[in-house]
A = this chain, B = another copy of it.
Amino acid sequence: MSTTNISLEDIYQLAFDCLTKAGADQANADAVANTVMCAERDGSVSHGLFRIPGYIATLNSGKVNGKANPQPEQVTPALVRCHGQNGHAPLAISRSIEMLAQSAKTCGIAALNITHSHHFAALWHEVEALAEHNLVGFACVSYMPAVAPAGGSEALFGTNPIAFAWPRPNNTPLVFDMATASMAVGEVKIAARDGHKVPMGTGLGPNGELTDDPAEILKGVLLPFGAYKGSAIAMMVELMAGPMVGENLSFETKQNDNADGGPPQGGEFILAISPEIMGGSDWANHAEKLFAKLEAMEGIRLPGSRRHKLRADNSPRAVNSDLIEQLKTLAQ
């Protein structure tokens, strides 16, 4: 694969220009471009510039409103809701996180429901934003059917990621963000593009057989991580990001989508918890005792540490050259 070095500023600008060219207003283009730049910066390539053609497709098809003006509302002291006005999710999320954080600092625990928005980004953004408030964050989202329930061979669940952040005052938070699928669709697509195999157990081919060929899995179905237990968690995400917040299940999302290749409409459930109110003033020092034990074990890395290490490096990133050329054309 040929790559081109491109600065973080230029990654942001390229994304921003593509989005405004396709009809997004400043606020929406800024929120999405920032999300995409952060993904490239942190090495989360499958959520970086790779996603821009999909974002643009939804603006061009009219499925997504590039001028959405989402406003969070305080439903109860512990519940914030934000109707996404049919826009891309990043603006709805960034406008709502502060209200969620304040609610959690008052009540000890609070939730944010994002509805009527279009999700195409990683979830660590929002849980890290909560961790910066010294709050514990949890988020989940569903998507289009791509994963068969354990024991089945037909797609019903989305890749249904969950993310969790634990704040570490004066340090980067501990964060994980993972598909409840054995692998994220974006990773399978990149493996297929780059000609890599994937581990057996990742998914089934179009005839229901196990395969290590990502191209076959993209024609077939992914499996959940961790067999029946992972499947139960994938189902929990369907319910939490769907009926619990008043949004679609993955299979409904697909039925309602116009198949333009970009993110469909879906819901997101975000939880914020104050460990200070719940557990008392020693919470941070206390948790460090667990992290010290983990770090003392050979071969164990704290979740999120690779991304945070990459983040500290502001130098240009190597991005697929064909993708950059494609985006430059789209931006003009």
Chain A positions near chain B (C-beta within 8 angstroms) = 75-79, 81, 106-111, 113, 136, 149, 151-152, 154, 156, 164, 166, 176, 178, 180, 225-227, 229-230, 232-233, 235-236, 238-240, 242-247, 249, 251-252, 271, 273, 275, 277-280, 282-284, 286-287, 289-290, 293-294, 297-300, 303
Contact = CB atoms under 8 A, between A and B. Distances in A.
A154 B296 CA distance: 11
8 contacts: A76-B108, A77-B78, A109-B110, A136-B244, A233-B233, A235-B303, A249-B289, A251-B293
Given A79-B278, A279-B245, A252 B289 contact: yes
Specify how many copies of this chain sit in the oligomer: 2
Given A109-B110, A178-B229, 11 more contacts: A78-B107, A79-B278, A111-B278, A136-B240, A156-B290, A225-B230, A226-B226, A226-B230, A229-B230, A238-B290, A251-B290
Contacts of A289: 249, 252
Closest 8 interchain pairs by CB? A226-B226, A246-B279, A79-B108, A78-B78, A243-B286, A78-B107, A243-B287, A176-B232
A184 to B, nearest CB: 11
A280 B110 CA distance: 18
Given A243-B283, A278-B244, A297-B152, A109 B108 contact: no
Contacts of A229: 178, 180, 225-226, 230
A239 B297 contact: no
B232 A178 contact: yes
Nearest to A80: B108
Contacts of A110: 78, 109
A108 B111 contact: yes
Given A109-B111, A232-B176, A283-B243, A149 B294 contact: yes
**A271, A278, A293 interface centre (most CB from chain B within 10 Å):** A278
